[in-house]
Chains A and B, each alone.
Chain A
Amino acid sequence: MKILILAFVYLFGAPLLGGLISGLDRKITARLQGRVGPPVWQPFFDVLKLMEKENLVVRRSQNFYIAFFLVLIIFTGGLFFTGEDILLVIFALTLAGIFFVLGGYKTSSPYSFIGAQRELLQMMSYEPAVILAAVGMYMVTKSFYVADIFFFDKPLYLYLPGILISFIFILAIKFRKSPFDLSMSHHAHQELVKGITTEFSGKTLGLIEIAHWYENAFILGFVYLFFASNALLAVIATLGIYFFVIVVDSVFARAKWQMTLVTSWAIALIFGLGNIIILHFFKG
């Protein structure tokens, strides 16, 4: 019963929270650039508008993949917020990403093709840091279950500072922010038109956006886990880290894929794996 309520709250709360957060993001970005910026609910207007538009497709099947992408992202977040196994959460997230990439490939547009390839490279880039985060959390709490990690009474970030750093680093990829917004972005980087979403329009584009909200809520939840022992600190730290990502986004240009891959792997290996090795010897 409790799980059902949790799932229900998540199903409706997560897109609301995710949408509001991306609205805040646009507002803050605008303020950082000295602009007024759109209203906070702008992302909701955008999606509602997209629902009213014609849905142009190259192939009808491309929309099918996006529907699966959305379902799997919801599934990922659902597993996470109901306190299930974090490894399963990560696998579901990867599978969702793969469906997004397949959708991009399906459209046969050169722009979305390169976008899809870059999306794959991005997934390769962030995967080590995410897996190491799960391993690190297991080493401290002796459990892979999100519920156990959430209710762990000692502050995780003190045990896993390196892993936290490597995780913050890959947040730019997951939030699709500069410098690692290679496959698509919400800003005016138009070297690939709109990257992986180039050939999606109308309702399907709206679904991608909603999936992105769910994803945002899930990732912020993941960051929250590092500070979960103290709720107040956790909220402040999560929002602080998100703000940091926005500032980085405003400061940097888009990086090349080589740099994305090398730096995120290097940081995951040095800070993340280093953290785990040290943990192993001290806790052992």
Chain B
Amino acid sequence: MSFLKKSPWIIHYDGSSCNGCDIEVLACLTPVYDVERLGIINTGNPKHADIFLVTGSVNEQNKEVIQNIYNQMPSPKVVVAVGICACSGGIFAECYNVSGGVDKIIPVDVYVPGCAARPESIIDGVAKSLAILEAKQKKLKSMEDGLEKMEIMMASISDAPEILALQKLAYQSEAEIYNDFSLRPLTQTLAEMKEDFQSKVFLKAVINDTIVGSVRAYMEGDSCHIKRLIVNPIYQNLGIGKKLMAEIENHFSSAKRFEVFTGNKSKRNIYFYHKLGFKEFKCEKVSEKRDRLYFEKIIEVKHD
């Protein structure tokens, strides 16, 4: 059995609301409602939290804050949008600086409507989110257990949305290294991705029907260009990337030369490619923030 249900710890964040919902969240902690009897604690630290309660709409100022808090929470985690502003933007939805509900920024699991949401309905929302939390934990567990059952296969164009979502997740750490969120992989649209499918070969690593990694490549003359090796952050350092690389090299076994590139500050990628036998041969300036390092691996033809 899972103990997540027995001890959900909460972090609450108030976006641009009137504070009404926020006060109601705090009212849940008072002797009248006393959520601690259900094991719920208001932690105030994202790294200790399981449930993220957001009140108020998202605006240009707090976008990054919400994203940051969400990223810092250890999984499994759920998000509960409390109050109509957090659900959809409410009466502020049309404001020039308001992006709308919380689901514009991070995935929301439970919506608690109301203006302001009553403490009873907030507690109800949290209780509902517990079931989702448990389901997420089960999924994570089954994915972990399924690592041996991982399969690598060709991806089809119907996988494009899932691979795109994974790509945006996997490139977060890169964007943070260079403090540049305009990286191409992060801004790619679904249409562009589908175009990619016409010109490149896509491989996907699948665990229990979920794509956890992908890589793409194309031939140009004798050399094979490998692009965008992505692995779900949870499954990094488990050898999935290495298997994907081996598989794609296998696929283009006619190639005399393989080429990849990565940013100059991405130490882990550089280490990874070195380990796979790639050597640097070129450095190119892309922008003020980063240089691009090119790696190559030349396949020696055996003379027997």
Contacts and interface: CB of A to CB of B under 8 A. Distances in A.
B69 to A, nearest CB: 12
A38 interface: yes
28 contacts: A26-B36, A30-B36, A30-B37, A35-B34, A35-B36, A36-B37, A37-B34, A37-B36, A39-B39, A42-B6, A45-B3, A45-B39, A46-B39, A48-B3, A49-B2, A49-B7, A52-B137, A53-B50, A53-B74, A53-B76, A54-B74, A54-B234, A56-B47, A188-B44, A190-B45, A194-B44, A194-B45, A201-B47
Given A30-B34, A35-B31, A38-B37, A199 B7 contact: no
Contacts of B43: 194
Interface string A211-248: 00000000000000000000000000000000000000
Interface in A168-216: 188, 190, 193-194, 197-202, 205
B39 A198 contact: no
Contacts of B76: 53-54
Interface in B90-138: 137
A29 to B, nearest CB: 9
Contacts of A39: 37, 39
A201 B59 CA distance: 29
Contacts, number: 77
Contacts of A193: 44-45
Given A42-B39, A51-B3, A56-B72, 19 more contacts: A26-B36, A33-B31, A38-B36, A38-B37, A45-B3, A49-B7, A52-B2, A53-B75, A54-B234, A56-B47, A56-B74, A188-B29, A188-B44, A190-B44, A194-B44, A198-B45, A198-B47, A199-B47, A205-B48
B16 interface: no
A34 interface: yes
B74 A49 contact: no
B44 A42 contact: no
Contacts of A198: 45, 47
A199 B46 CA distance: 9
B172 interface: no
A49 B6 contact: yes
Interface in B9-45: 29, 31, 34, 36-39, 42-45
Q: Is the interface of A mostly helix, strand, loop or mixed?
A: loop
Contacts of B74: 53-56, 201-202
Interface residues of B, number: 25
Interface of A: 26, 30, 33-39, 42, 45-46, 48-49, 51-56, 188, 190, 193-194, 197-202, 205
A220 to B, nearest CB: 24
Contacts of B4: 49, 52
A200 B74 CA distance: 10
A53 B7 CA distance: 12
Contact of B47 (A30, A38, A200): A200
Given A35-B34, A199-B47, A188 B39 contact: no
A35 B39 contact: no
A57 to B, nearest CB: 10
Contacts of A53: 50, 74-76
A38 B39 contact: yes
Given A190-B44, A202-B74, A49 B37 contact: no
Contacts of A190: 44-45
Nearest to A189: B44
Nearest to B47: A201
Contacts of B31: 33-35
A208 B147 CA distance: 30
Contact of A36 (B34, B72, B234): B34
B42 A54 contact: no
B47 to A, nearest CB: 4
B36 A194 contact: no
A55 B73 CA distance: 10
Nearest to B8: A49
Contacts of A52: 2-4, 137
B32 to A, nearest CB: 9
A35 B47 contact: no
Interface in B45-78: 45, 47-48, 50, 72, 74-76
